Amino acid sequence: MSIDHLGHLGHPTTRPATAPSAGAAHGRWRCREAAARLIAFACDAHARYQCAVFRIGLSGLVLAFLLREWPHRRVLYGDRSPWALDLAARLVAENHAFTVLTWSAGRWWFECVYHGAILVAALLMLGWRTRATSVLFLIAVLSLQNRNPLIGDGGDNVIGVMAIYLAFTQCGTVWSLDARRARRNRRAGRVDRAGFVMWQILGVALLWVSDGFQGTAWAAVLWAGWVCQGLWYAARRWSRGAWSRELLDAAATMLHNCAMLVIAAQICLIYATAGWYKVQGTRWQDGSGLHYALHLDYFSPWPGLGSLLASHMLLIVLLSYGTVVMQVAFPFLLGYRRLKTALLAVMILEHAGIAVLLGLPFLSAAMVVCDAVFLPTALLRPSRRSGSRPKR
């Protein structure tokens, strides 16, 4: 054995470290790019036009209802209501619902709340100070509904739930007076000081009515929203660095996206549960569910029209099965763009039929407003001219 061989045995050579392969580097780059796209997607406000339609429709529906019931407002929610104020206060204490109408038995308080609800609904529909008016709209809707829970046709429950979600969205970014004022302030380089004054007024009002809250939950929610709005304004106005403003804007945007996602999930849940409950019923299984619904005296505003439709049994069977199929398949068909528009058109026609045949206009209108959340953006967004398109 030679000396070279001994040296080789005593000092074995180590394998040189290999450079990272091009595939691994490419994989890490793709992961970083996917993470950057996900962050950019989460920090960008989505469904802005759908949210604007949702805001206009929901507030306009409440405004129309309050104006229609204005002559009967005291019988429904006031001092002449069969559901007396002490009964309402007892029920609120048991179920922990929220209403401001039980704070005072005076007629002046009821008139202020009712007409204030009309004013807030009109301002929200126009898109004026939507950050504040959306919260006031929520308070007004819940106050009226929980004052007399025995009235309503199901649409009030949908409106109440959706009013809660609407308060967490950026519903005034398009088609609103807020968007118009923001464009003018950017062009002129002005700072909006009226919003800060309104924030102070709302803080004083909230401090004044804090004793009326039965518990601390709603007071904590309203105070938290008021404080967050103040922090957002302070960061916009006095912060030297851009990171605080960007952080608050990103948080508000993600909250908006989450609220819109919850609204879409809630609508899918409404249709899915309605369809699956119909599947369990024997009347809907044999296709006669709609026949019996048309013969209910309480839901027959046009008895002649209902009897005429009920006389065609083949049409009744097709409509009954079609209703069940569309409601059960609604959450699954939304993923297909070509079918989604046709599905929404069919659902709107169904709600129009329910409004006319069963006499449930506000329930049908509330569901049509909810269906507008799924409208394609290309249908709502104004078309751009070919010459103004950015170059790629």
pLDDT tens digit at each of 392 positions of the chain: 444 444 444 444 444 545 556 566 666 667 666 666 666 666 688 899 999 999 999 999 999 999 999 999 999 999 999 999 999 989 988 888 889 998 888 899 999 999 999 999 999 999 999 999 999 999 999 999 999 988 877 888 999 999 999 999 999 999 999 999 989 988 888 877 788 888 888 888 888 887 667 666 788 888 888 888 888 788 777 766 667 777 888 888 999 999 999 999 999 999 999 999 999 988 898 888 888 888 888 888 888 888 888 888 899 999 999 999 999 999 998 888 888 888 999 999 999 999 998 889 999 999 999 999 999 988 888 765 444 444 43
> Between vectors from CA 179 to CA 47 and to CA 184, what angle results, nearest 5°?
150
The span from the CA of 112 to the CA of 123, in Å, is 16
Gap between the terminal Cα atoms of the chain: 71
| 183 three-state secondary structure | helix
The span from the CA of 181 to the CA of 296, in Å, is 51
> Angle between the 155-166 and 48-68 helix axes, to the nearest 10 degrees?
130
The span from the CA of 369 to the CA of 176, in Å, is 17
> 10 Å Cβ neighbour count for 235?
18
Q: Please tell me the predicted confidence (pLDDT) of residue 20.
A: 54
Say how many residues make up the chain: 392
Q: Which amino acid, residue 261? A: L
The span from the CA of 392 to the CA of 87, in Å, is 65
Q: Contact at 8 Å (CB) between 309 and 276? A: no
Q: Please tell me the predicted confidence (pLDDT) of residue 298.
A: 81
The span from the CA of 207 to the CA of 215, in Å, is 15
Q: Contact at 8 Å (CB) between 289 and 283? A: yes
Token pair listed for 188: 């002129």
Q: Which amino acid, residue 113? A: V
What is this structure's pTM? 0.85
Using CA atoms, how far residue 129 sits from 66, 75, 144, in Å, is 21, 32, 22
Token pair listed for 112: 């202020």
Token pair listed for 87: 């009964």
The span from the CA of 280 to the CA of 87, in Å, is 36
The span from the CA of 169 to the CA of 45, in Å, is 10
Tokens 């004793």, located at residue: 211
Q: Please tell me the predicted confidence (pLDDT) of residue 173.
A: 92
Reference 229, options 259, 260, 258, 197; nearest CA is: 197
Q: Please tell me the predicted confidence (pLDDT) of residue 41.
A: 63
Q: Please tell me the predicted confidence (pLDDT) of residue 390.
A: 43
Backbone angles phi, psi at 391, to 5 degrees: -80, 140
Q: Please tell me the predicted confidence (pLDDT) of residue 126.
A: 96
- What is the per-residue DSSP string for 56-93? HHHHHHHHHHHHHTGGGHHHHTSTT-SS-HHHHHHHHH
Which strand (E) or helix (H) includes residue 219?
A: helix 217-238
